[in-house]
A and B are shown apart, each in its own frame.
Chain A
Amino acid sequence: MLRYIAKRFLIMLVTILIIVTLTFILMHAIPGSPFNQERGTSEAVQANLEAHYHLDEPMYIQYLLYLKSIVTFDFGPSIKQPTSTVNDLLGRGFPISLELGLVSVIVAIISGILLGIIAALRHNKIIDYAAMAIAVLGISIPNFILATQLIQSFAVTWQILPAATWSSPKHMILPVIALATGPMAIIARLTRSSMLEVLTQDYIKMARAKGLSPYKIVFKHALKNALMPVVTILGTLLAGILTGTFVLEKIFAIPGMGKYFVESINNRDYPVIMGTTVFYSAFLIVMLFLVDIAYGILDPRIKLHKKEAE
């Protein structure tokens, strides 16, 4: 197990290094350099940038210094907002994005698993078909499209819920629905298919023969094994939810990191783009690593396979 963790950890570090290097190379590949005065930056900003990126040094020194600044969590100044650094923006925006993302993840997991279980238990009945229809629709409707339609109906036509901003739990409802529906649908489909497989196993028949209540069979015996495939895709789901926050924060005018990120893309505010990309990528890669480890711990068969293989 320790070997497995160590190997995964190493891969994680390499992946982060690659994304850091990639941002560095790409930003220097932009014709005319993003840090040039032609971009209409003020003297003060230019001074900040030069100080941060050591533009007068040779390339490899720049690269090493860039690595150092990333390791020490210093993403440099913003071009468009001379008074703030990328760190300031992250500090302001990330907690809000995290809140939106976390609530959505929780909603998606709980509702997805429940929907999957119900569909599996009512296999090939109306409820199953309805649940799976919802699931395929949920996968097919892009989150930003869903968001606009939600605003149109709930905020404009019926005026029950606020259309934008992030100030009360009521404001969270629409963005969370828009963000959680896709992942919920994926989880529901996975839970259903693995649940169907698990429910035919002998130990479930055994539990039924023992006279356990259906509730106990599902939640105590079947679910534990049925959820293994769901754990494997949590990493990818997190990535989807995270990138989803970019557009949703734009649509709902939520002052999170995604909003700054989209603004920085439109303004070509390169340090912010670089910083956010590196920060989010590292965040995701670490999450992926944790999910992998969790899977290894949860599923004893993985350890066995590894030993056999070696």
Chain B
Amino acid sequence: MSLAEKQKEPQSNGIPDEWFRPLDRSEQDAEKVSRPSLSYWGDAWQRLVKNKLAMAGLIFLILLALLAIFGPIFSPYSVREINPPNQNMAPSAEHWFGTDELGRDVFTRTWYGARISLFVGLMAALIDFFIGVVYGGISGYKGGRADNIMMRIIEILYGLPYLLVVILLLVVMGPSLATIIVALSVTGWVGMARIVRGQVLQLKNHEFVLASQSFGAKSWRIIRKNLLPNTMGPIIVQMTLTVPTAIFAEAFLSFLGLGIQAPYASWGVMANDALSTILSGDWWRLFFPALFISLTMFAFNVLGDGLQDALDPKLRE
């Protein structure tokens, strides 16, 4: 059978000719991008949303922040106002969380405590961020001698027992909100600096950095524009995990009597004041600050874990 004959053949196996019509290219959309392209952050966000525990943590923290800001405003009671006839009342319709030994409303004080805890946590994380990023960035990018010396300093600071140094500083500076934050930051940035340095060390030999250098970019510009944006993932995780550490430290110090002073309330102070009431059965005095310290730390921890998984490029599917 010749080739020419074969081409005439197709009708014989029962397939109609029009089935072999060439496809109209203009209708084809194989090349079309059906969804918007997913950025690193979009991808991370999508995976974070799938993590129910982390989302629960995030939602709790948003609610807590709202209550911390607006709760005291809408409450008919003041944080500081002493009301002796109402002392140590159990939770009721007027006082949802009960009252303390001076008749102050525990509900109002709890949101005041939230303000202080969140403020201390966020400030500590921010200060750690600034010092750690600058220090770690310079140390990692410069390398060599400078890096060596800067790492020795970090190694020494890392060896200092965190809370003992903080206690020592507070004893000298006197307890107040500002001194707590300062004391927490004095040694707290070391972890952040180590992470940033490690990341910068890994990234600085990539081509895009070389390209920047060949255009004559200054070191600080390269650190800021090229290196840091690429290390934001680990930095954010570290910041999220710094917050509960700082909240714990504040509560711990307040509990030792080195924290916020009366009449202001922090959860640590409230727990400390309530310690003597354990035996008398006024459970609400201790229960609410204890509950909120634990829930807040829990929320930050699961959110941090979730972010760690979501931002880790190795886990990208």
Q: Please list the residues of chain A having a beta carbon within 8 angstroms of any beta carbon in chain B.
A: 11-12, 14-15, 18-19, 22-23, 26-27, 29-30, 136-137, 139-142, 144-145, 148-149, 151-152, 156, 163, 239, 242-243, 246-247, 250-251, 262, 265-266, 268, 270, 273, 277, 280-281, 284-285, 288
With A and B bound together, what is the CA distance between A284 and B159 in angstroms? 8
Q: Is the CB of B278 within 8 A of A148?
A: yes
* Tally of contact residues, B, Cβ under 8 A: 39
Give the interface centre of B160, B161, B169, B258 by most chain A CB atoms within 10 Å.
B161
- Secondary structure of the B side of the interface? helix
Q: A148-B290, A251-B275, A262-B256 are in contact. Are A30 and B172 (CB under 8 A)?
A: yes
CB distance from B177 to the nearest CB of A (A): 18
Q: Does B165 contact A (CB under 8 A)?
A: yes
Known A26-B168, A144-B251; 19 more pairs at CB < 8 Å: A11-B152, A11-B155, A11-B159, A23-B168, A140-B294, A140-B295, A141-B294, A142-B297, A152-B283, A152-B286, A163-B279, A243-B252, A246-B256, A250-B256, A265-B258, A266-B257, A277-B164, A281-B164, A288-B159
Instruction: Decide if A280 touches B258 in the complex (CB within 8 Å).
Output: no
Is B162 on the interface with A (CB-CB < 8 A)? yes
A265–B159 CB distance below 8 A: no
Question: What are the residues of chain A within 8 A of B102 when measuring CB–CB?
Answer: none
B281 close to chain A: CB less than 8 A:
yes
Taking a contact as CB atoms under 8 Å apart, the answer to whether A145 and B302 are in contact is no
Cβ of B189 under 8 Å from chain A: no
Instruction: Report the nearest B residue to A144, measured CB to CB.
Output: B255
Q: Which residues of A contact B251 (CB under 8 A)?
A: 142, 144-145
Q: Which residues of A contact B171 (CB under 8 A)?
A: 26, 265, 268, 270, 273
Q: Which of B161, B281, B297 contacts A284 (CB under 8 A)?
A: B161
Within 8 A of A (CB), among B124-173: 152, 155-156, 159-165, 167-169, 171-172
Given contacts A148-B271, A148-B275, A149-B290, contact A142 B248 (CB under 8 A): yes
Do residues A141 and B297 form an inter-chain contact, with CB atoms below 8 A? yes
CB-CB nearest in chain B for A10? B152
Contacts of A250 in B (CB 8 A): 256
> Is B298 interfacial (CB-CB < 8 Å)?
yes
What is the distance, in angstroms, from B268's C-beta to the closest C-beta of chain A?
9
A-B contact pairs, 8 of them (CB 8 A): A140-B244, A140-B297, A145-B293, A145-B294, A148-B286, A152-B283, A156-B279, A285-B159
Residues in B neighbouring A149, C-beta threshold 8 A: 286, 290
| Assembled-state Cα–Cα distance A239/B252 (Å) | 14
